[in-house]
Each structure stands twice: as C-alpha cells, then as structure tokens.
A and B are shown apart, each in its own frame.
Chain A
C-alpha cells in the first residue's frame, strides 16, 4: 500500500509572527522527516488567516515558500477577509482536499521532529483520529493505557482522514466558533464507528501559560466562547438534563462571560438556529463534571 499524502492546516489570528513562523517551520520539518522515513508520500502546508489585516504580505509568503520548499511540497497562504474562528478556518483550508490525511494544528505550537511520523504511524485500521501529547501542560483527560482510546481529541494537534472529513463535513463551524468544535468532531467520528486514539509519543509544544493559582491562563474571550460552546454541546449531544443545569448555573453566575453565553444560546434557540441533535441514547458523548471526558486529578 502506498504511503499516504498529508495536508497540514493552521489558522492564524493576530499571532506573533515570529512564534507562528517557528511553529510552521517545525511542522514542515516534521513532515519532511516523515516523508524521508516513507511514512507519508508528500505533504502540503495550508495557512489560513482570520486576522483583520493579512499577517503576511506576498513577499513574506514567497520567502516562506522558498524557505520551506526543500522540506514540504507546497505552502499556501489564504487571508480569509473575515474571522472564521478555528472551526470555520480549518474547514475552509481543507475544502476539497486531495491528500489522504489531514493534520489540524493550532498556530501557537511547535512540533517535535517526529510528530507527523508518530501520528500517522498510530492511525491504524479503524482509527479515525490520532492526537498528540501536548507540552508543557499535558491535557488531563484520561485515555485507555492499553489502546490509547479516548473520549475526544484536541484540535490543537490532531490527525484525521480525508474520508471522515468528507463524510462528516469537517468541523461544525455553524455551531462552534472557537471551542468544542474538536470535541464535537471527535464524538461524531466515534459515533460513526471509528476510534479516537491518544498518542503520547507524538509530542507537540502548545504555548500555554500557568496563572498564579496554577490554572491555565485564559482570556475573557476564551471564557466566553468556552461557556457558549459548553451550552451548545450539551444541546447537540442530547443532554437536556445537563443543559438545564448549566442554564440555571449561568443565570445566577456573576460572570459576564456566562451571562453573554446564555443570551447567545437563547437567541439561537429562539431563532431556530440550534444544530440537529445526536446520540439520543447517550452512547458516545461523555459529560463528566464540567468536562467532556474523565480527567486525571
């Protein structure tokens, strides 16, 4: 069987370009090593930009293409002229893709040289997604120590198949703007009978910082979209019981993010813009505490 081809996609939004370029170079290098090892046949890097103004001009794109040419077959840059969010941006960059595999990446990452090889290597038969281990803060969701099976894969760095992307339509960008698009996609992949597998040997550095209390530092925007996505995910995956709980909680919460998220949810519901529902028998989705998998504590 010939080695598969790979498309890597990454969506920028007002990033520090020095850091973003470091990440893109590392991805190209990782793809190059995978090609040299015969794990993949070829690779392309597609960069999307949701920023109000393009972060790269034509000369910068050309310079990057020239720099990465020895490592990767093709480098494309597309300014969206709109903020499509992570789900919309990733979908746009993977529309009609010809490559066999799709590597979804955050822009604030640095890939280990063997990242691509490890993720592709773990994408065995019946596996729909492989997920990398993040550094410096490993995601706390549990996985099966023997098989690697896990509830969902983080869109920070996940590898999936073109056939699944086509069949499922990629991320649900109509519903999810910034968060839970990866949880939802993972669950739809599992709902379709495929496995989601965690791959600790596939390393990716994700630039997360720790706040004073030892938690992961997050902005107010992140709080808002996370709260909004939480409500929508409970709706979509047919957990009315948990949705009601969350609505009650948000309705008395002092948090501005919670109040706005609840308003938006109600607005969508009233306008009939909530998504179709999945998993009525609760076989796939996992809601554990406020999380979407059992977490290590």
Chain B
C-alpha cells in the first residue's frame, strides 16, 4: 500500500532528475537564435528559416558578429580575393532558368501587395544543390503571406518543421494544408513539377479557404528580377570561391574538438551586399566554437528589432593583441569566450565558444598562421 511518506520520498527522488543543457546544445541554440535560423548543422533542413522572413533580419546576424556593437566599422576595402561571379548573380539582371533551373510563377491576383521577392541557392549541401524562389506579401517590412517555390523537396523538409497536414483536392490541385493553433495557415501543393509552400500569418486575416483559392491562381510567370538574391554553400573550398574575402579557418584545434562545419552565404539586395563565412568546431560533447567572418557593402536595409543573445557585453571591452589585431574581449570565463575584431580589409571577425580565453586566443592566432 502506498503511503504518504512513500510518495514524498518519490517526490524527493524526482528532484534529482534535473538536467542541464549540454554545452554544445546551449551554444548552438544561442547562435541559431542570433541568426533566427534553424540548426544549420542539420542539413536535412532544406532552407534557412531566417531567409524566408526576408533580408531585413540580416543585420541581426551582423550584430551577432559582435564587432558592430562597438561601432568598429573600418572602411570597406576592395575585394582582394577573386569572386565567383557566376554564383553571385546580381539583382539587376536575373535569368531564373539559368540561376534557379525553373521559372517561378506567382498568383495572378493576390489578396495583398507583393513586397519582396528573393531567389536563393544552397549549393554543395549534403543533399545536393537547393534552389528556391520566395515572395512576401504584406505591408512595408511586415509579411503577412509568403510563397516559397522550387523543385520537389528543395523548399523545406516538412517532416522536421510541421507534419500535421491534411490532404485536400481543390479543383484539380492536390494539396496538403495545416492550420496551427496560432492561426497560421500553410498549404503545400505541386504544379508542373514545382512545389509551392504558402504561409498566411494570422495578422493577414487570410483563411485557409482563401489560401486554397489562391492556389488555383498560380499562373503568372515572374518576369522582374528578384529584390534579393542569396547563395549559400558548404566547405572551405566552396566558401573561398563564393566570397570576396579570404577565409581563415583555424588551424589550431583545441583538445576535445574535432568535427567541423563550414558555411558561407552571400546576400545581395540592390546595392547592399552581405557576405558571411562561418566555421564551427564541435567538441566531444560539451562545447562548440564558432568563428565568423562578415563583410557588408552598401547601404543596409532597415532592420527592425535586431536582437542578439550572445554579444551583449556592457561597457568598454578589454582589448587583446592577437596576431597583430586589436581584439575585443566581449565575454570570457572558464567555460566561454567571445572575441571580435576587424581586419584591415573591413571584414568583421568573431570567435566565440565553449573554451577559456587562452584557448580561444590560440584558435584566433592560428587563423593567421601560414
């Protein structure tokens, strides 16, 4: 027979079941939150969520680099590294067939004004190359309705993001739809070999029925160049080809670290260009080191509410001289260090992760070693 005392003892034992977040997860979540993107080391996620919300969030990533927070903007020098022009299609002229491999189509009539379009390529991923087109409808920087389209399987792995889909036949279109508790409606359908993902946010006032009707009006080929182009790639060699600045992967790998992942991204919006190189080192189980190089050119688009979780240092940071650079120590303790600096060529650098300052200093120093 169960007694009250026994239940209390059971309760006591439950208290011992508290867990702590493994450091590698803690850091990944912080970094991914900074970038408003899903877990980038998991390449089963086909498309970075932060991009689907438009280029407006990109400065948030720039802030995450850390250097911006201290106004340490150096003049942007000329690229001293050949740029893979083919991969960095400008927005002035854009051949959709050539760049994306398909002709995007949008609805003939949409319930809201079209505010922004984007062409995006993720190259050299573990699953091959992914190319998609996005369109945002709404008002100003607010998006109320988004359309993403691409070859089947290129847009998003829905089994990771949402899986509670209902199958419908509307007209001659087989679609799957989802209405979330927060009022967000999503529909996915395939037409002429392309997969379309529509999302209507609650504030759009668009019902799932209206979204179903919208699916039947996808017949207007997009003729205008996209407002924004994005190219992403993986691997050091691919990054070197894509970016206009030299990439500096660390040569010193601290004990307990081994597996690495490299990602490079270029986003162009009119005269604004944003380039990022990210090198991540994964520890045995408890730590992650992220080195990021970031360069922007041109006038930044307006960025509402950029938030930053990892580099909110207060006051004047301590400075260190590492490899001839004045490096700001944003945070450091025995388990975590965050550094930022700016190179002569205008590239903003940051290194953060689950090691102490001495170890991180070695990592940064090794980036400049021949």
Q: Do A and B bind each other?
A: no
